[in-house]
Amino acid sequence: MKKSLIALASLSALCTLAQAQSSLVIYGLVDSGVRHDSAVAKTTAGTGSQTQFSSGVMNTSRLGFRGTEDLGGGLKANFNLETGINLGSGATSSTSNFFDRRAVMGLQDSWGRVDIGRNTTFLYDLQAGYVVDPLGHELTGNRQFAANAATAVNPLGTLVGSALNTSRRDNMVKYQSPTWSGTTLGLAYSFGNVAGATAANSSVQVMAKYDAKPLQLGVAYDRLRDTGARTQTTLTSGGNYTVNGYKFTGGYSQMQADPGFLNSNTSILTNSSSSTSLYRFLAGATARTTGLKATVVDLGLTFNATPMTEVVVAYYNTKYSADGVASNRYDTFATRARYKLSKRTDLYAAIDYTKAKGITAAQTASGTTSNTGFAVGVQHRF
């Protein structure tokens, strides 16, 4: 009897230990608010103001599952599944991919971490992590539009977003090194899965990040091929420095596509008739026959106005140009304030102003040369 009790106690202890070495976390974010624009395109000719409910004003609402298992000897197995949610309708944010934001599994030890599956790019990681973008990839959804599209309130949402296939990538093997003296390195490769053409639709990414408060620096480069060996390259770089509670951020991002670049996830580049085509803003540029270049320079200041209120002031200078065509320029000013109701729940307000300059195609979403937007909402993380 005594031996049985000892064996039972030992088994119970082992089960408790096994549970302690494995974990499963259900997490998410819900974000919704109301946005007003001074000038939007109406369904009939002309423009007018618009006030509308917006799901994910600051960030995309999401639901995720992540877990880890300790395999012993310092080796761990990880997984992460995450789907975007439209809070206004309850639908998923993607009609084709249920786990559109992330679907990965991988291994991690003292040599670093390798994840395999649909994952975020290093370009996105540096921006969403507030390293090179003062808004941390907030306001990247285009909240200026009705019938037409333009550069997003935060233009980095256009340059590093789903339309250009630069925020996330399918079939990716992503390696991130341990952090050595504040420095982390990364290398990723995405398989195109095109029969008989290994390089088609494939991509290569590299990243370097330095994080030693009060200074953060980062750079990431991405090269994406299409089925015809043409390339789209994207670079993001910059950093921030914090002194006396004030964080100063600066960044530079650039995307350049070869003439004729064509990829199933980059219709924004290749379809001149599409309302979401960057060529729409470049008079004289013809899709699939001209190269395209887009750049964004960002500057920002982050500080606490009160112990519970964080304020970000940001400026973005955006230029789109094509071969033989003068640049279109967009100057965007945005201010966002978050008031913490608790550790998980924030109230927020944001105001932005976009001014378009350049050739006749330069315009905001309304078809006018300027737009002012204001948004208020609430965000909860769990």
Per-residue pLDDT of the chain (382 residues; tens, 9 = 90+): 454 444 434 444 444 444 447 899 999 999 999 988 887 655 555 567 778 888 888 999 999 999 999 999 999 999 999 999 988 888 888 777 889 999 999 999 999 999 999 999 999 999 999 999 999 999 886 554 433 445 678 888 878 876 677 899 999 999 999 999 999 999 999 998 888 888 888 999 999 999 999 999 999 999 999 888 889 999 999 999 999 999 999 999 999 988 877 765 444 454 444 444 565 555 556 656 678 888 999 999 999 999 999 999 999 999 888 776 667 788 999 999 999 999 999 999 999 998 887 654 445 545 567 888 899 999 999 9
Pairwise CA distance, residues 218 & 241, whole Å: 12
Domain boundaries, the chain: 40-61+109-381
Architecture of domain 40-61+109-381: Beta Barrel (2.40)
Measured CA to CA, the distance from residue 326 to residue 146 in angstroms comes to 27
Q: Are 339 and 347 in contact (CB under 8 A)?
A: yes
Our CA angle for 265, 269, 271, nearest 5°, is 95
- By the 8 A CB rule, do 330 and 321 touch? no
265 sits in the region (left: phi over 0; alpha: psi -120 to 50; else beta) called alpha
